Amino acid sequence: MTDAQTQSSLVEQARELFFGQGRDPAPWIAPHISRSWNRSRPLERQYNTTPEPIALAQLHDRREQARHLLECAQPELDGLAEHVIGNGCVVILSDASGLILNEIGSPDFLPKADRIALKPGVEWSEGNRGTNAIGTALAERQALMVLGGEHYLAQNIALGCAAAPIFTGRGEVAGILDISGEAVHVNQHALGLVRMAAQQVEHRMMLAAASGHLLRFHHRPALIGTAREGLVVIVRGRIAAANRVALDLFGSSWDDLLDQDAEPLFGLSWARLERQRGLLTLPDGRQIAATTERAAKSTGTRLAQRVRPITEPVDPVASAPDDILPLLRPAVRVLDGGVSVLITGETGSGKEVFARRLHGASRRSGGPFVAVDCASLPETLIEAELFGYDEGAFTGARRRGMPGRIREAHGGVLFLDEIAEMPLMLQTRLLRVLEERVVTPLGGGQGVPVDFDLVCATHGDLQALVTQARFRADLMYRVAGFHVTLPALRHRADRRALIASLFSELGAGAKQLRLETDALQLLAAYRWPGNVRELRSVLRAVVALADPSDRIAADALPAYLRGTSSIQDQQPVGPAATRPQPLAAMTRHAIDQALEDCAGDVAEAAGRLGVHRSTVYRHLRQQRTPARPSAPR
């Protein structure tokens, strides 16, 4: 008899003792399974129930509430999926209650998972589903497996699961990473994978949410800067957060460390290690390699904007950049008053970033932020994307239909980016929704009441489009209740501070890079036709090319920044210089070249050019539209 067969036989005997005779099964099964079965006793009468997932709108709200976790865990979900698909398994992420937020993996196993309600929107806590890896890992606060008959409910005994909890720096469980499949395919290797992936997620969450000082350390210096390093957040001299690696290195617990003075543990020397490595002597005489840095403030990325610091709540208005603050305060007031806000500005000036800050500071901050890029969606899809559709509304529609982005924004903020690109027919439907606050899906379904605040953005001139009969005047008046124009980067007085902040945020802090004065001056003096988007692309490349602890001087910046003009302003060299190309022709050539270099990937091409995706999509549409013949003279 194999080990697996022996284990299965022992579990069968344990089930007979526990469920058939009401006796203690402890000698026959693992201790965490025995404890879990006893905690699950109230479920005995609900043996064969299969719960329905929560409504899609509720699931969207729960995902928004767990946005920090979702974004930090996505790389691990993708990586684990590559490992498990070949074994017929799926990777699952749940929140702290056991509600499944995301599930990806084997298309062969997904239908089986669906039959037992192992899918997004269903809560797999012990209270709902008895002994299972997600719920039991939550209860036990440790990585574990639940295989076959170890599941409490009989309908789950073909299932094998390995799960690991994800902890915050304050010792709270943020969620669970799980690998599930048929019991024969889940083993200790799967448990090791989710355990390591959970550690990676914790590391990423700590870095994203930290404020104050961040102390990185390990007795092996080579591990500093990796997910295996110890992390401690120190705010005003007290320990505000620590990861599990730090606890293991100290042989301590969160209860022992949190909110304690850092000096008795690390000594006065910890504060002198900013951006350089050194040795710290611990109270027990051990020496560890360490480095200290100021935690990057959340000023730019989508992830950072949704992160709440580990220490004190941040006022999204007060934490806005200096040049944005005077624009944000009145916008928050009018949005809270039910007035739509229109954001305009040059491409790349940060319109979506501003919209997210507006949401975070508004009365709707607890609700979802739903962003729709009207320029990136084909006209054939944007209607279904916005308004949703019923089952069978059109060929290729999802079996259960789709609620649409407007319904998903219920209780929150709907952000329509590049609204000027919305087709006229849909402008009429949108106006009706804004007036009636009811959205009707494609297929003639029943109208659904919706409640949301509206923020729109465009780099175009809506009034000019109204004059050209390309945008409805009544819709323009509705979406432009309050108008905010974002300044171009070259006009912002705070651009030096913004450059320094973005530099650190994009990885310079983690690599201990330093931006020299001449480089900062050059970056601040450049005209940045692509605005903040172009700046981020340049800084990301500079950080990627630098070695750890490098000092970035002006000569390390791209050559065109050191000249007197930008790429877009440079004239051709040689004979062609006598016949300068029109700017429009140069722009078309640049976009075509970028698309060719990126194998047609619009998002990547736009990133290289420092422009919005809508600019590239517009270019492609113009190429497909034949030119109209000119009128005879």
Here the CATH number for the domain that contains residue 615 is: 1.10.10
**Lowest mean per-residue pLDDT among 39-53, 217-231, 486-500, 544-558:** 39-53
pLDDT at 571 over 60: no
Of 426, 456, 485, which residue constitutes the final position of a domain? 485
Structural domain containing residue 228:
210-294
Q: What is the pLDDT of residue 334?
A: 92
Confidence at 599, pLDDT banded by 50, 70, 90: low
Q: Where are the alpha helices (DSSP H) in 21-145?
A: 31-39, 56-65, 67-84, 110-115, 126-129, 133-140
Count up the domains in the chain and report the number.
Answer: 5
Amino acid residing at 632: P
DSSP letter at 260 equals: S
Judgement on whether residues 564 and 435 belong to the same structural domain of the protein: no
pLDDT tens digits along 492-506? 888 888 898 888 878
CATH of the domain at 329: 3.40.50.300
Q: Which one of 159, 192, 225 terminates a domain?
A: 192
**386-415 pLDDT, tens per residue?**
887 765 444 444 445 577 888 888 889 999
Q: Which residue is listed with tokens 């912002």?
A: 492
Would 302 be classed as within a structural domain?
Answer: no
Same domain assignment for residues 86 and 179: yes
Query: d(Cα 350, Cα 534) in Å, to the nearest integer?
Result: 11
Q: In this predicted model, what pLDDT tens digit does every residue of 42-63 receive, in sequence order?
A: 886 455 677 889 988 888 888 8
Within this chain, do residues 360 and 481 fall inside the same structural domain, yes or no? Answer: yes
Are residues 561 and 579 located together in one domain of the fold? no
Going by the DSSP 8-state scheme, the letter that residue 308 receives in this structure is P
Which residues, in sequence order, are CB contacts of 400 under 8 Å at separation 6+?
Answer: 391
pLDDT in tens, 132-171: 999 999 999 999 999 999 999 989 999 999 999 999 999 9
pLDDT at 285 over 60: yes
Instruction: Answer yes or no: is 236 within a domain.
Output: yes
Tell the burial category of 172 from Cβ atoms under 10 Å away from its Cβ (0-12, 13-18, 19+): exposed
Answer yes or no: is 198 within a domain: no
- Does 8 score more than 90 pLDDT? no
φ, ψ at 133 (rounded to 5°): -65, -40
How far the first Cα of the chain sits from its last, in Å, is 95
**Shared-domain flag, residues 585 and 476:** no
Q: Domain check: are 478 and 500 in the same one?
A: no
Asked if residue 204 is part of any domain, the answer here is no
**Which pLDDT belongs to residue 268?**
65
Residue 486 has pLDDT above 80, yes or no: yes
Residues 457, 498 within the same domain: no
- Phi and psi at residue 111, to the nearest 5°: -65, -35
Contact 150, 131 (CB under 8 A): yes
Same-domain check for residues 529 and 387 = no
Most confident range, picked from 129-138, 374-383, 620-629: 129-138
- Given a cut of 90, whether residue 97 has pLDDT beyond it is yes
> What average pLDDT does this structure show over 576-600?
59
CATH number at residue 176: 3.30.450.40
Checking if the pLDDT of 580 tops 70, the result is no
Question: Do residues 554 and 575 share a domain?
Answer: no
- In this prediction, residue 217 carries a pLDDT of 86
One domain, residues 542 and 581 = no
Place of tokens 């094998």: 160
From residue 48, give the alpha-carbon distance in Å to each of 17, 35, 37, 136.
20, 22, 16, 19
Instruction: Please check the confidence at residue 103 and state whether its pLDDT lies above 60.
Output: yes
- B/e letters for 90-109, b = 16+ CB within 10 Å, e = fewer, are bbbbbbbbbbbbbbbbbeeb
Bigger pLDDT: 570 vs 496: 496
What is the average pLDDT across 336-364?
Answer: 90
500 lies in some domain: yes
Convert the pLDDT of each residue in 307-332 to its tens digit.
333 333 344 555 555 688 789 989 99
Rounded-to-integer distance, Cα 426 and Cα 404, Å:
14
Is residue 336 located within the same domain as residue 463?
yes
Does 529 reside within a domain?
yes
pLDDT at 565 over 70: no
80 falls within a domain = yes
Residue 425 lies in a domain: yes
- Region 427-456: mean pLDDT is 86
Q: Which of 448, 469, 485 is the last residue of a domain?
A: 485
- The domain that contains 548 carries what CATH number? 1.10.8.60
Least confident of 238-252, 292-306, 610-624: 292-306
Helix, strand, coil shares, percent, the chain, to 5: 50, 15, 35
| Residue 569's pLDDT band (cuts 50, 70, 90) | very low
| Whether residue 584 sits in one domain with residue 557 | no
